[in-house]
Structure 1
Amino acid sequence: MKGIKITWAGVLVALTVIGAAIKIPAIIGSVALDAFPALLGAAILGGPAGAIVGGMGHLLSALMGGMPLGPFHLLVAAEMAILAFIFAVFYRRGRKWTASLLFVLGNSFAAPLPFLLLMGEAFYLAIVPSLFIGSILNTVVAILIIPRLAKAVEPLLTNVRSVK
């Protein structure tokens, strides 16, 4: 089963790179569809896999964007991993709207809080609207795709479990 989970996590990280290439202009930089694969991984494969997809996905997305925040992207990757894990905890307990709301609020308002201290209030206030729009878009895409992808992935995970 671990091999299948690793394979699907790799596919989702690759999907993050594709999503990062889909840019929607925003106040600072752009909004990308790079977070929804982490939510897919979290809901279908579990919290640890979703966290890995979220962290690695952010780093690859930032790399494609030229790493505008430099080493601070390591902090953002850790925040994405934590948010994906939290999403998994609530989503897998059947509380998908709570999971979605926590992800949107966490990614939009809580995750950039360190930058309020590091870069100032103007940066925080400028980046929050873009993060809010991006979080909503990524969450909606994930919520629409999760049930469909789960139908394709769950039988594979179940078949592997029954073979052992």
Structure 2
Amino acid sequence: MMKLRIITLTAMVSALCAVGAMIKIPVGVTSAALDSAPAFLGAALLPAPAAGIAAAIGHIVSAGVGGFPYGPFHILIAIEMFLVVWGFAKLHQNKHQILKWVYAIIANGILSPLPFYWLISPEMFYGVTPGILIATIINVVIAGICMPIVSKAFARREAH
């Protein structure tokens, strides 16, 4: 029963990531969207690997909606999203209430674009990082506002 619940919640969070992927953030990067806010919220409800899977799915949908502007590099970005949200979920589960948000912003907004400094060009990194950082902050703020509400509602549901 527990596995079915985790699979169902992962699918629901993935679906919310897909919906968020269709809400683009106009920062010059076509795949910047509200796809990671639900994944960060999923960290409060799911084991770390499941939350990471939802984030990776959300990114692939976001990239698809944006026309896959960086081609196969989106597989790398999906893996990065998995790792960012997995780490965020681990920090959340270990009760690192401030560190998890700082980690999310630095890992997703600054470190995730870093491989593109070498894979494409330094100009690419400097060009996309400000937009990705802004999009990350927007996603984190949304998740930060919603997480206490979702956690409280979920805890109430668990009590019944």
Determine the structure 2 residue equivalent to 1:7. 8
Q: Distance in 2 between matches of 1:5 and 1:16?
A: 16
Alignment of 1:71-86 (within 5 A): 71-86=72-87
Contact 2:27 2:135 survives alignment (8 Å): no
How many Å separate the matches in 2 of 1:136 and 1:96? 16
Mapped to 1, the partners of 2:68 and 2:34 lie a distance apart of 17
The 1-side partners of 2:55 and 2:159 are apart by 24
Residue number in structure 2 paired with 1:141: 142
After TM superposition, the runs of 4+ consecutive aligned structure 1 residues lying more than 6 A away are none
Deviations along 1:22-79, one digit per CA (max 9) or x if unpaired, are 1221133363111011111122212111111011111111111111111111110010
1:90 is matched with 91
Q: Alpha carbons of 1:30 and 1:65: their partners in 2 closer, same or farther (altered >3 Å)?
A: closer
Root-mean-square deviation (Å): 1.6
2:129 alignment partner in structure 1: 128
Equivalent residue letter for 2:89: A
Aligned residues: 159
Verify the 8 A CA contact 1:42 1:48 in the aligned structure 2. Answer: no
- Measure how far apart 1:86 and its partner are: 0.5
Please say if residues 43 and 85 of structure 2, whose CA atoms lie closer than 8 Å, have aligned partners that are also in contact: yes
Structure 1 unmatched ranges of 5 or more? 160-164
Percent identity of paired positions between Structure 1 and Structure 2: 36
Specify every segment of 5 or more residues in structure 2 that has no aligned partner in the other structure, as ranges.
Answer: none
State the match for 2:24 in structure 1: 23
Q: More helix per residue: 1 or 2? A: 1
1:4–1:157 CA contact under 8 A, matched in 2: no
**What amino acid is aligned across from residue 53 of structure 1 in structure 2?**
A
How far off its partner does 1:20 sit? Answer: 1.3
How far apart in 2 are the matches of 1:31 and 1:105?
16
The alpha-carbon distance between structure 1 residues 123 and 148, as it changes in their structure 2 partners (threshold 3 A), is: same
Partners of 1:49 and 1:156 in 2: CA distance: 20
> 3-state DSSP class of the match of 1:24?
coil
- Tell me the CA shift for residue 158 of structure 1: 6.1
- Provide the C-alpha distance between the structure 1 equivalents of 2:159 and 2:78, rounded to a whole number of angstroms: 31
| Secondary structure in structure 2 of the residue aligned to 1:32 | coil
